[in-house]
Structure 1
């Protein structure tokens, strides 16, 4: 066994066969795969290049009883400084094909929302403009029902093809999973949540249903959303996007600003001076820095305003 004591050489070889040896890395720093630029090494990182290869890799891990973490663009993740045990499956530009058919766009899980929106504009299809600046993959957007400017993924999503994990067996392993197509009406999509998240489903592909539009107007609207983001958000600094969910009846950023926390720091983690709803990595921040700053913000807002801030950033791995 390797020193991480979870994955045998035999399983590593089987995973290499499933995705191709060139698409398997050992002890890969997750700081290379998150927009926060934070995170220790993952035991094994896979970059399968087709939906079939994804399924083979997931089935191999299930049968071997090896934990799996699926990562898209890593834009809402805080990975622990000690990294991730088991296997990380990266779904990014390795599975990112986009095709247009009439008013529908079919995209693999690793395609960026930005690229899907640009393909829609090229095809004179409207509906994705508010989402195009979200730094998420299609899989990640469906997983969390990503949204912005009063729009969300569920507004334009028609269906997804997902991997459904098999049942857990007595020895702790799992049976092989199944692949099924689900209509958006089956996904229980709400504010930053979905059945995909709740049941551990893994998006392989998605279909978006859009409407005919005027390319000039579509691109003008996209440019307007881009300008608004650039004016208000710290896009030039490493972060995981909005750090906290919007509390009912409030705006997280305003609460944090009113609590006197603009620019507050722990180590190299800082409450953004441009938008207090973002915690940013000023260079060399650790997950411990970010955690401590999040807790400080929560404590201050709770004490001053009686409001509980719930993190939108997802913590994964070992801290």
Structure 2
């Protein structure tokens, strides 16, 4: 770790290996900015940058990236779940601001204890709120836009607030363009008995129990036209295929796992094998740093 200096706004800046911040556990070094407010974020965005949240759905090159890497911290990683009296009703709660750096799994558990329903379909997704909103993360049982009221977005030109109705969002896509950072959100949720919310969480989580438990970015490909990408990869006979220390999981063919010591190059080689063997065009669900361009 190398601590860097020179931030006018007081942001903490360090040169760090990015592997420690990803669920896959690969990735080289970069200059990491830990920003706690809009002034620090604005300074970090003055140079080319990337935003790193929970580190899922992400494969970072072994040599790292040349851009600044932004991590939301401090107040931008805190939550206020108190109902906003001016916006809430007896049946529906609009919360205070929830920071983009808040881990989603802990948030979902807290909402359950409070008896707030709407996001339990996202249970088990290893993301932070900002990244989960940016890609509209979800499962077959629900997605982030099921529970959003207001989204605060920062750009190099300033901060603005939008609602879901302002965006062209859809499957794994918020409609928020690159170069925009989701800094905070207000949630819009239904009141329900905590036991009922827990039951829906358990139901959604049960469907995920066949997924691998090793280090993984998550699903590699989006389901093309409603067809299971995992089924297509399995039918191509690729379950258990290994390159280096990266493996197409025997439990679920749409997952690539790190057996320990895998490199980004190993993962890219497996992705190329899948693309070569599966005849149906599939869109990659992973974000690649840097982008390798079309396959």
**Same fold, judged at TM 0.5 (above):** yes
| Residue 314 (str. 1) matches residue 292 (str. 2) | no
Consecutive unaligned residues in structure 1, runs of 5 or more: 1-11, 166-176
| Residue 14 (str. 1) matches residue 2 (str. 2) | no
How far off is 1:93 after superposition? 7.1
How far off is 1:318 after superposition? 7.8
User: Which residue of structure 2 aligns with residue 191 of structure 1?
Assistant: 171
| Residue 244 (str. 1) matches residue 221 (str. 2) | yes
| Residue 137 (str. 1) matches residue 128 (str. 2) | yes
Match of 2:207 among 225, 228, 244: 228
Match of 1:91 among 72, 77, 90: 72
Secondary structure, in 3 states, of the residue corresponding to 2:197? helix
Match of 1:112 among 100, 103, 111: 103
Count of residue pairs brought into register by the alignment: 280
**What does residue range 1-319 of structure 1 map to in structure 2 within 5 Å?**
13-15=5-7, 17-20=8-11, 23-26=12-15, 28-42=16-30, 44-58=31-45, 62=46, 66-91=47-72, 95-102=76-83, 103-105=93-95, 106-165=97-156, 177-196=157-176, 198-229=177-208, 231-234=209-212, 236-302=213-279, 307-317=280-290
Q: Is the 8 A contact 1:114 1:133 kept in 2?
A: yes
* Cα deviation digits, residues 202-249 of structure 1 (max 9, x gap): 1110111001100111112223323332x2111x21111000011114
Q: Is the 8 A contact 1:82 1:318 kept in 2?
A: no
Q: Is the 8 A contact 1:270 1:279 kept in 2?
A: yes
How far off is 1:136 after superposition? 1.1
Q: Is the 8 A contact 2:147 2:187 kept in 1?
A: yes
Q: Is the 8 A contact 2:59 2:286 kept in 1?
A: yes
How far off is 1:199 after superposition? 4.2
For residues 318 and 244 of structure 1, what CA distance do their matches in structure 2 show?
16
Q: RMSD value over aligned CA atoms?
A: 1.9
* Cα deviation digits, residues 229-270 of structure 1 (max 9, x gap): 2x2111x21111000011114101011111111100111111
For residues 143 and 249 of structure 1, what CA distance do their matches in structure 2 show?
22
For residues 82 and 43 of structure 2, what CA distance do their matches in structure 1 show?
28
For residues 268 and 281 of structure 2, what CA distance do their matches in structure 1 show?
16
For residues 39 and 110 of structure 2, what CA distance do their matches in structure 1 show?
24
- Change over 3 Å in CA distance of 1:318–1:164 after alignment to 2: closer
Secondary structure, in 3 states, of the residue corresponding to 2:203? helix
How far off is 1:115 after superposition? 2.1
Secondary structure, in 3 states, of the residue corresponding to 2:32? strand
Higher helix share: 1
For residues 158 and 139 of structure 1, what CA distance do their matches in structure 2 show?
14
Q: Is the 8 A contact 2:44 2:68 kept in 1?
A: no
How far off is 1:125 after superposition? 0.9
How far off is 1:55 after superposition? 2.8
Q: Give the TM-score of the pair, scaled to structure 2.
A: 0.89
